[in-house]
Chain A
Amino acid sequence: MSGYIARRLLQGVVAIVGALLIVFVAQRLSGDPVALMLPMDATEEDFAAMRQALGLDRPLPAQFVVFIANAVQGDFGDSYQWQAPAMALLLERLPATLELALAGLVFALLLAVPLGVISAVHRGGVVDRVAKIFAMLGQAVPGFWIGLLLILFIAVELQWLPAFGRGGLANLVLPAIALGWYPVAAMTRTLRSSMLDILDSDYVRMERAIGLPERWIVWRFALRNAFVPLVTMIGVYFANMLGGAFVIEVVFAWPGVGRAVVDAVFARDFPVVQAGVVLAAVVFVVVNLIVDLSYGFIDPRIRHG
């Protein structure tokens, strides 16, 4: 287990260094990186100072080392929109994004778990068919459009829930649905197919033979087995949702990392953009690491294996 953790940690570090490399390449791709790093009204002295700070007079590998060294300290330069360290600005907004992504995940699970379980138990039944249609639509309809429709119907027409901003639970509902919409389909299918296998397994047959009520077998026992493959996917989905949150945040004016990065792109505030990309990669790696470790919690075979 500890060897496994060490290997996963190493993979995570490699991935983050890779992300840093991509950011570095993107910087250089644009021609003069200093032009990206400084506001448009910067003076010639600013340029010279920045060039020296970035070590642009040195060879590329050396520049990369400097870049990495700064990055490790969380230093991606100052946002010139806000005159503050870029990473700190984004970290301030990270809780809002995590809150949204978690709410999206909760929504997705709330819908996918009953749908997946019921469509496996009553295969070919009404719920199974509805879930199938849902799955097809789920993958074809972009979440941000769902967001717009939700705003149109729930917020504007019916005026049930607020459409914009962050605040109480009411503000969270619509963006969470828009964000959680997409993974519902795949989660439902995964859960359904693993549930079908499990309900046909020897141990479920044994559980039936010793007279456990069917609802125990399904909801207390088999569901826990079915969660093992689902958890594998939750990491990937959660990471995708963090990315997707960038768009949903714009739709619902949610004050998170994504909206800050989109604004920064328009304001040509490059330090914030690159900090945003690296932050997204770090969160992705950390989330997947947590997911890997939590397998052991759900599947004891991995804990002891």
Chain B
Amino acid sequence: MAEAVLPRPLLGRLLRAREGGFPYIAATVLALVLVCALLGPWISPHDAGRIALSEAMTPPAWLEGGSMSHVLGTDNLGRDILSRIIAGARVSANVALYAIVLSGFIGAVLGMAAGYFGGVVDALISRLIDVQMSVPSIPLAMLFAAVLPPGEAMVIFIIVLSYWTWYARLVRGEVLSLRERDFVKLAKVAGVGTPTVFYRHLAPNVLNMLLVLATLQFGSVIVFEAGLSFLGLGIQPPNVSWGGMLADGRNFIEVAWWLITMPGLAIMAACLASNLLGDWLRDTLDPVRRQL
């Protein structure tokens, strides 16, 4: 019986003011990531790249031997972890925003074309999606990491290559069902040109769904980028990234646990926040369709 009263989930109570309410904590965390990305150099306590071997391997402030000038401790070269996490936020946010906007745009355009025109266009684009989806994204990333110069641009390219299919499939499905709805048919009968139909009638309807998917994928893209950088195939030193910090810290796992813990927590917080915000957006914008 759907009507029986169910207790609210614990985590929901913790993270949301009320069921379906705005997830304040998640939004704050995401805002924090964006603030770090924008104002990083001004708010970070130290320069992220500053090497001070005399202060190497300082534990976090609350532990014995810790110091308040390095709240989260330092790494093997004496670099301040907190400052590096703030610097890593810039890379993560940058890559995620560019990658999502680009893959969203490409996916949406191809998806709309496939759904709207149907026939050969649809068949071609659909096959392209199939092919793309049958190559696992990590091996594909390695292929391009091997042939392209490493750096942010390459990481963005690789992510777009793996993620556009999500948007294309979503938009295609939506347009396919919209195409049969009366207002689109009427517009066509009335002789409205194709670009206008696209812009006026289709785009607004798919925009909500795109926004939800983009928010949900913000976290997933951050994880993907971290994975690539962890392997050494993504962001290259001296640029700081959370994945790269994990790779560095891995060599000192037996002596300094904070080196691998802190950046991981940053990844987790950003990703969890984007998932929660995405869930809230989906429920708010489209309470009926919850299968995204």
Contacts and interface: CB of A to CB of B under 8 A. Distances in A.
B146 A268 contact: yes
B226 A142 contact: yes
Nearest to A23: B143
Nearest to B14: A133
A19 B227 CA distance: 22
B153 interface: no
Interface residues of B, number: 49
Nearest to B162: A243
Interface stretch (A224-232, A279-287, A297-305): A279-287
B245 to A, nearest CB: 11
Contacts of A107: none
A132 B9 contact: yes
Given A14-B130, A124-B7, A284-B136, A144 B142 contact: no
Contacts of B144: 26, 29
Contacts of A18: 127-128, 130-132, 134-135
A280 B12 CA distance: 39
Interface in A239-269: 239-240, 242-244, 246-247, 250-251, 258, 261-262, 264-266, 268
A288 B253 CA distance: 38
A14 B126 CA distance: 12
Interface in B105-149: 127-128, 130-132, 134-140, 142-148
A287 to B, nearest CB: 10
Contacts of B128: 18
A264 B134 CA distance: 22
Contacts of A22: 131, 135, 140, 143
Contacts of A281: 134-136, 139
Main secondary structure of the interface of A (DSSP, over half): helix
B219 A30 contact: no
B240 to A, nearest CB: 17
Given A124-B7, A270-B146, A144 B246 contact: yes
Contacts of B24: none
Given A123-B6, A148-B260, A136 B11 contact: yes
B254 interface: yes
A79 interface: no
Contacts of A201: none
B23 to A, nearest CB: 11
A144 B135 contact: no
B271 A11 contact: no
Contacts, number: 163
A156 B134 contact: no
A145 B9 CA distance: 27
B131 A265 contact: no
Nearest to B249: A148
B229 to A, nearest CB: 11
A26 B260 contact: no
A36 interface: yes
Contacts of B196: none
Q: Which of A12, A26, A140 has the most C-beta atoms of chain B within 10 angstroms of its own C-beta?
A: A140
A30 B154 CA distance: 13
Contacts of B246: 144-145, 148
A82 to B, nearest CB: 16
Given A136-B275, A243-B138, A281-B134, 5 more contacts: A12-B134, A140-B272, A251-B250, A273-B142, A277-B143
Top 4 closest A-B pairs, CB basis?
Answer: A18-B131, A243-B136, A15-B134, A30-B147
18 contacts: A18-B131, A19-B131, A137-B272, A139-B220, A139-B271, A140-B272, A145-B267, A148-B249, A149-B264, A152-B257, A243-B137, A243-B139, A247-B231, A250-B231, A273-B143, A273-B146, A276-B139, A276-B143
Interface of A: 11-12, 14-16, 18-19, 21-23, 26-27, 29-30, 36, 123-124, 128-129, 132-133, 136-137, 139-142, 144-145, 148-149, 151-152, 156, 239-240, 242-244, 246-247, 250-251, 258, 261-262, 264-266, 268, 270, 273-274, 276-277, 280-281, 284-285, 288
